[in-house]
Structure 1
Amino acid sequence: MSSPPARTAPDAPPTHPTPTLPGKRPPAADRVYAHVKQGVLERRYEGGTLLTEGGLAEEAGVSRTPVREALLRLEAEGLLRLYPKKGALVLPVSAQEIADVVETRQLVEAHAARKAVPAPPALLARLEELLARQEEQVAAGELAEAAVTDRCFHAEIVRSGGNEILSRLYDQLRDRQLRMGVAAMHAHPERVTRTLTEHGQILEALRDGDAEQVVELLHDHVSWFSHLARGEVR
């Protein structure tokens, strides 16, 4: 049985690159993969956009062969759908995908939050650091970066629960969370301030050692995406 893939650092979207020697450029397919994936997650390539092999090859300065390999990997991850001789369609975030992600997040985060209380000082310090970083990013208009930090805030709580299997399951939602978060911040900029406020409330409840309050705050915080999918944004 092969060993599991190495986990990517929480502060950046995973790119699953092929290992390279220090000082050497990653293989062309890895460069294209990272370039296109970042574009999808940050909404430079909107849902419904048709990407062509020729256009991506020109953007990345490579031949079409590594582009084709990169697109196949991204299709396997559910970000694109390939159409022979036409290109790759960036798949929009569907209402069903949002509902599935929200349901999974609520189950995992509620369980982890109860186990994380009483919160260790290291967790509180890390959440304070991430909240301060997110505030700076929002003030600078760096919404894609703020979405990454948002995701890290929640992932720290999940990891603090001490269940490695649940942490890995949660990490599998990473790309979907980032994509949904960036889209929400652009479409509803008023939500950004509310997100910061709610993160502060979650942090305060953790400081107080009130597990049920943390769970309630997390539930309401994550549920907003379900309201968004149903057109019931408050």
Structure 2
Amino acid sequence: MAGSGRDRAYTYLKEVYLADPECQGRFINEQEVADRIGVSRTPIREALFLLSAEGLVQLIPKRGAYVAPWTARELSELMELRGMVERHAATQAIARGVVPEAEMRAALDRQYGLRGSDEGAAFIDWDHRFHSALVTAVGNDMLIDFYSGLRARQVRAGIVALFSAPHRREAVLQEHEEILRGLVDGDVAAAHRAIDAHLDSTLRVLIDT
């Protein structure tokens, strides 16, 4: 992992550690993380301050960094924000004729290749790329930055959902097919319905967990 110790710690904690469903409801062992990525505890603490500012961990005096379990409200707000961005992106991509069919199909094909594996994190990474391709196609840099800011939460929520429902991967694949079909057909209403159905099903799995 290149970069400063703080950057390495931040990337690892945000992209790997927090994406692990087992970390929910636990305090982060700073020394364990430091040993795992080969840095001292100082950059770990610096990274945790950054993650705390983003609302991804809670710093509790004399106890350390706590990864709070999702609340129903947080999950609902996350899906609401995603829905707003993705529906807008669908509308604009269809109107401008810039639906990224090739990129979304490539991401979906990679997910098909991972459906029977134990690589849940990789499956969700390609899940994010599928959705991100649509948002990126619109070409609004501020929107892209905002959506990228949701990535850590999206990945964490996606992995928790994946491990909470035995047949979630197959459901995700079919839901993605519906989204892509609406986009390719140029049917804004169908694309919106498919996006909403996908996010609603994810939310239901997470809330029932």
Q: Structure 1 length normalisation: TM-score?
A: 0.80
Unmatched runs of 5 consecutive residues or more in structure 1: 1-23
The equivalent of 2:52 in structure 1 is: 75
> Structure 1 stretches (4+) deviating beyond 6 angstroms?
none
Any idea what the Cα deviations from partners look like across 1:148-176, whole Å, max 9, x if unmatched? 11111111112223433322222221111
> Which one of 72, 77, 83 corresponds to residue 106 of structure 1?
83
- How well do the aligned residues superpose, as a CA RMSD in angstroms? 2.3
Per the TM alignment, residue 28 of structure 1 is displaced from its structure 2 partner at its CA by 1.9
The equivalent of 1:168 in structure 2 is: 145
> In the aligned structure 1, how far is the partner of 2:79 from the partner of 2:2?
38
> In the aligned structure 2, how far is the partner of 1:37 from the partner of 1:172?
11
Per the TM alignment, residue 210 of structure 1 is displaced from its structure 2 partner at its CA by 1.2
Any idea what the Cα deviations from partners look like across 1:56-99, whole Å, max 9, x if unmatched? 33333333222221221221222211223322111222211111
> In the aligned structure 2, how far is the partner of 1:38 from the partner of 1:161?
25
Q: Structure 2 length normalisation: TM-score?
A: 0.88
The equivalent of 1:206 in structure 2 is: 183
202-211 or 144-153: which moved more? 202-211
Per the TM alignment, residue 201 of structure 1 is displaced from its structure 2 partner at its CA by 1.8
Max Rg structure = 1
The equivalent of 1:43 in structure 2 is: 20
Overall identity of the aligned pairs, in %: 35
Alignment of 1:147-166 (within 5 A): 147-166=124-143
Paired residues in the alignment total 209
Matched, 1:93 2:65: no
Matched, 1:128 2:109: no
Q: For residues 36 and 229 of structure 1, do their structure 2 counterparts lie closer, same or farther at Cα, with a shift above 3 Å needed?
A: closer
Unmatched runs of 5 consecutive residues or more in structure 2: none
AA partner of residue 132 (structure 1) = D
In proportion to residue count, which structure has more helix? 2
> In the aligned structure 2, how far is the partner of 1:121 from the partner of 1:160?
6
The equivalent of 1:6 in structure 2 is: none
> In the aligned structure 2, how far is the partner of 1:45 from the partner of 1:161?
36
Any idea what the Cα deviations from partners look like across 1:93-137, whole Å, max 9, x if unmatched? 221111101111111211211111167477111111111011112
AA partner of residue 52 (structure 1) = N
